[in-house]
Amino acid sequence: MNSSLLDVRHASYSYPPDAWQLHDVSFELGAGQILGIIGPNGAGKSTLLKIAAGILPCAGAQIRLAGQDLHCLSRRRVAQTLGYLPQNVSSIFDYSVQQVVAMGRFAHLAGAGFLSPQDNGIIEECLEQTETAAYRHRPLSHLSGGERQRVLLASVLAQQPRLLLLDEPTTGLDLHHQVAFFSLLARLASQELAVAVVTHDLNLAGAYCDRLLLLSAGRRVTEGSVEAVIASDVLGPVYRESVHIGRHPLTDKPIVLPAPPGRSEHA
């Protein structure tokens, strides 16, 4: 794919002194696509995302961001194209929503980093887009989990990236907020943003992602369409047969249900 915004080749990593390793995983991502990175605990999803974002140094990996070698770009240049939302964000000081979102403009600002009217317009847009404008003056510590995740996403969107890498952004959110978050990702993708999202929620991944990359124990199992990956013969061995694949009554997309021990399709 020549038009890929992100091309990750041969991503490998090991966490010494543990034996756990990520083995030679590659993927690419184009504008307007949502890639779901799925797999059980310890599969290497977050590690892969961190390598792709240049957060975790990986000497052997070749990562091209909008056609350029990511390792040759400054962090500021990377942040102008790539937005990364980590799994856990904790602030030692209780900044307000508006301040956190404004921090997203850092890569575009020079000198002391004061905001121009144009920057303020972008921040306003991101607050509206993530439906966080109503509590812009509230400190982070006064927000619920769902509000907080949307604020952090707004901060990443304020970078005006062409590519979003999100690490389990809906963990801990209720069903309504999970659906709202993924709906927002779908809207962003329709505006030509590329999105890679690590998630444990296979049904949300199936409902909103264009493609899925399945990892297990640090290895790539498969990558393909939702229909190809959300299948009992693919997920069964990875999730130790504890899944049952059905069909969503409204969308007819494949859905995953937990299977009681000994009752799975493969058992």
Partner 1 sequence: MPEPLTRKRYMFFLLLYVGCALVVLGMAPLVGSESISLARIGADLRQPAENWTVDTQIFVYQRVPRVVLGLLVGGSLALVGAVLQVILRNALAAPYTLGITGGASVGAVLAIYVSAFAFQLGPFHSVQLFALAGAGAALVLIYAIARRPEGLAVNTLLLAGVTVHILCGAVILLISYLTSPHLLKAMNQWLMGGLAVVGYQQLASLLPLLLPGLGVLLLQMASLNHLSLGHEMALGHGVDVSAVQGRCFFGAALATAAVVSLAGPIGFVGLLTPHAVRRLSGLDHRLVLPGSFLAGGAFLVVCDTLARTLLAPTEMPVGVITATLGGPFFIYLLLKRS
**Binding interface with partner 1 (CB under 8 A):** 50, 53-55, 57, 74-80, 83-86, 88-100, 102-104, 106-107, 109, 112-115, 123, 136-139, 152, 155-156, 159
- Neighbouring CB atoms inside 10 A of 241's CB total 18
Answer whether 105's CB lies under 8 Å from 124's CB.
no
Structure tokens at 73: 């770009």
Residue 172 beta carbon to partner 1: minimum distance, rounded to whole angstroms: 17
Task: Identify which of residues 161 and 218 has a Cβ nearer to partner 1 in the complex.
Answer: 161
Task: Identify which of residues 65 and 256 has a Cβ nearer to partner 1 in the complex.
Answer: 65
Task: Identify which of residues 29 and 226 has a Cβ nearer to partner 1 in the complex.
Answer: 29
Residue 131 beta carbon to partner 1: minimum distance, rounded to whole angstroms: 18
Rounded to an integer, what is the distance from CA 253 to the centroid of its chain?
21
Task: Identify which of residues 3 and 74 has a Cβ nearer to partner 1 in the complex.
Answer: 74
CA distances from 118 to 69, 82, 101, 108, 153 (A): 30, 20, 14, 11, 20
Place of tokens 């993927």: 27
Residue 94 beta carbon to partner 1: minimum distance, rounded to whole angstroms: 7
Task: Identify which of residues 81 and 170 has a Cβ nearer to partner 1 in the complex.
Answer: 81
Residue 93 beta carbon to partner 1: minimum distance, rounded to whole angstroms: 5
Nearest to 170 by CA among 191, 190, 187, 185: 185
Residue 33 beta carbon to partner 1: minimum distance, rounded to whole angstroms: 20
Rounded to an integer, what is the distance from CA 35 to the centroid of its chain?
8
Rounded to whole angstroms, the Cα distance separating 267 from 263 reads 6
Task: Identify which of residues 139 and 224 has a Cβ nearer to partner 1 in the complex.
Answer: 139
Answer whether 130's CB lies under 8 Å from 152's CB.
no
Phi, psi (degrees; rounded to nearest 5) at 151: -65, -45
Task: Identify which of residues 68 and 251 has a Cβ nearer to partner 1 in the complex.
Answer: 68
Residue 74 beta carbon to partner 1: minimum distance, rounded to whole angstroms: 7
Residue 265 beta carbon to partner 1: minimum distance, rounded to whole angstroms: 39
105-136 burial: b if 16+ Cβ within 10 Å, else e: bebbeeeeeeeeeebeebbeebbebbebbebb
